[in-house]
């Protein structure tokens, strides 16, 4: 995907965040965030750009990826050039609408954008990899069944798919995340 498009998306997200910092959410937005069980700041979050290239090194051309919390879609667009297919989930409908308006007909054919909360969306059966570049994500237990790449501001956590998906494997994966990334796991 062209650098011109990613540059437009980056400029949009910078303006979007700047505007969000100077306005209080209206009643409609507050109701949405309350129903979604997230706070306003979480909905304004953009993935960490400094981690894009590092995470891209961890995927393969045959991977089918679901990216959780896609933000302005710069990362999923880059990801779509490296893997077989990308499902891109973003909760914030205003962000999805505005970024699709920028992308227009430049949407890669292997990128599927979905506006939803990842806790309420079943992972498609063809997915083998999950990426999440959100800050301090709560990790659903189901993610331990996949190759999962979690990237925060300074670090990347990498889980491989469990062979038996047994209790011991899940405990080890949870301990890894809690120890190295200091994250909580949602059961």
Question: In CATH, what number is assigned to the domain containing residue 60?
Answer: 3.40.50
Q: Which two tokens stand for residue 100?
A: 């699709």
pTM metric for this prediction: 0.73
Q: Are 104 and 2 in contact (CB under 8 A)?
A: no
Alpha-carbon span 81 to 61, nearest angstrom: 9
Q: How many CB atoms lie within 10 A of CB 163?
A: 7
Range of the domain at 116: 3-186
152 touches 90 (CB < 8 A): no
Give every residue of the chain whose pLDDT is below 70, as ranges. Answer: 1-2, 17-26, 29-48, 135-138, 152-187
Q: What is the pLDDT at residue 80?
A: 95
Q: Which residues does 136 contact at the CB level (< 8 Å), separation at least 6?
A: 152, 183
Domain count, the chain: 1
Answer whether 48's CB lies under 8 Å from 71's CB. Answer: no
State the Cα–Cα distance between residues 69 and 96, nearest whole angstrom: 11
């Amino acid at each position: 995907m062209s650098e011109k498009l990613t540059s437009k998306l980056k400029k949009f997200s910078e303006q979007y965040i700047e505007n969000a910092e100077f306005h209080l959410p209206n009643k409609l937005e507050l109701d949405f965030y309350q129903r979604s069980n997230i706070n306003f700041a979480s909905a304004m979050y953009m993935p960490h750009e400094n981690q894009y290239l590092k995470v891209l090194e961890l995927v393969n051309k045959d991977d089918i990826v679901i990216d959780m919390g896609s933000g302005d879609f710069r990362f999923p667009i880059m990801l779509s050039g490296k893997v077989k297919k990308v499902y891109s989930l973003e909760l914030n409908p205003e962000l999805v609408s505005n970024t699709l308006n920028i992308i227009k007909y430049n949407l890669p054919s292997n990128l599927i954008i979905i506006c939803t909360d990842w806790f309420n969306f079943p992972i498609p059966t063809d997915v083998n990899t999950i990426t999440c570049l959100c800050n301090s994500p709560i990790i659903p237990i189901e993610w331990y069944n996949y190759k999962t790449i979690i990237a925060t501001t300074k670090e990347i956590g990498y889980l491989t798919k469990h062979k038996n998906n047994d209790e011991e494997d899940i405990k080890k994966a949870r301990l890894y995340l809690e120890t190295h990334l200091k994250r909580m796991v949602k059961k």
